[in-house]
Amino acid sequence: MKTQKKKIVIIGGGFAGVNLAKKLTKSDHFEIILVDKNNYNFFPPLIYQVATGYLETSSICYPFRMLFRDKKNFRFILGELKEVIIKEKKLILSTGSIHYDWLVFSTGCVTNYFGIESIKHHAIPMKTVSDALSMRNTLLERLEEASRETNMEIRGKLLTVVVAGGGPSGVEISGMFAEMKQKIIAKDYPELKGSSGEIYLVDGLNSVLSPMSENSQQYAYDKLVEMGVKIRLNSMVTDFKNDVVHFANGDKIETKNLIWTAGVTAIIFKGIPPEAYGKGKRLIVDAFNKVIGQEDIFAIGDTCIQTTDTAFPQGHPQVAQVAIQQGQNLAHNWIKTLKSKSSVPFKYHDKGSMAIIGRNKAVAEFPKPKLFFSGFIAWIMWLFIHLLSLINYRNRLSTLYNWTTAYFTKDQALRFIVRTTLRKEVLTREISD
């Protein structure tokens, strides 16, 4: 007698969701439905290179339907989750409704503005592909505006960039801007020669790359300063209005460009009980990634917090490797249940941390054995690991080509201002048939 397939709905196609789906599609006992508001998977660690015109969007993105096109037990639905009706095992989406046997949240995180409305409305986020394209357009438009501006005070504001957040994203984008200022802007915009305009990296903590070792922190700090980045630590941003960034200690920086990489938060979904959420709005899960108080709802990756792993009693870091490993572990456990085998509690295997500062400048550290690398060798490691982590060969080849071109020419020809608009009649038309 043929057994009925388990209908698994995965909300979110990031690292966690895609790795879970990939493993489950190998078994005929599951029907997998992936729901995402985008029709593509993308690689967040390289989002800043799209924002600065060093990579094409297609280098870090890949369509879900193409990724899973040969999997007969997989289906993709474009849409956003609006509500979970637990009693009916039903999901209300922006594009319809579906039922599930098992539901998995793998929605990652969104930008956290810490309740500061002025920053939410005026700062430049860097979390999604749309954010990256918007940032590229905005910064290029401001360079064009600065090239025409005769008022030196206004020109200075247009050229000054403040990056809030001293984690890997903040360090990497600051280093990229510093290199662009030195090697590219002077060539592309001769009108700006000798103009003022600084790059600031600011953070409320007392170090950059705070999750990493002191060796990495000091190396990154020293190299960024050498590259011309002005670093302000113990400086918490409290407001951004009238082209002025305000700090808790009373300091101010005049700029039109505040790039926000200072924090993330998970998403709250209608229908999920409030007691299921923990720190940072993350869903609280047990050792097997099951949401507390629920029988058929799971969460993996950045959107969950798991305190059962003895090495991480406060929860795992919100990094790609945790998401990948949780997705794979959950898939293995479900496959084990088909064979009446016991599930394995999740244990995170830390494979190390990396951050790139600039050309031939990076840091890499590994816990077992405890190793630290910096400079050119760490830079090569960073390139190699990130190339391998891209989702398919086409992305890897495209990215390698762009990086090779940028390395030897110290430039890249991807700085396009591309505006997208929808015709008013398309937005407002009514269905009459």
Provide the annotated active-site residues.
Answer: 172
Answer yes or no: are the C-beta atoms of 133 and 50 closer than 8 Å: yes
Instruction: Identify the CA nearest to 223 among candidates 378, 358, 49.
Output: 358
Please list the alpha-helical segments (H only) found in 92-197. Answer: 117-122, 129-148, 152-159, 168-180, 186-188
CA distances from 52 to 55, 254, 417 (A): 8, 22, 11
DSSP category for residue 222: H
Please spell the DSSP secondary structure of 40-74, one letter per residue.
EEE-GGGHHHHHTTSS-HHHHEEEHHHHTTT-TTE
Instruction: Identify the CA nearest to 203 among candidates 234, 168, 170, 228.
Output: 234
Rounded to whole angstroms, the Cα distance separating 329 from 348 reads 10
Answer yes or no: are the C-beta atoms of 109 and 14 closer than 8 Å: no
Rounded to whole angstroms, the Cα distance separating 312 from 134 reads 36
Strands 124-125, 161-164: parallel, antiparallel or unpaired by DSSP?
unpaired
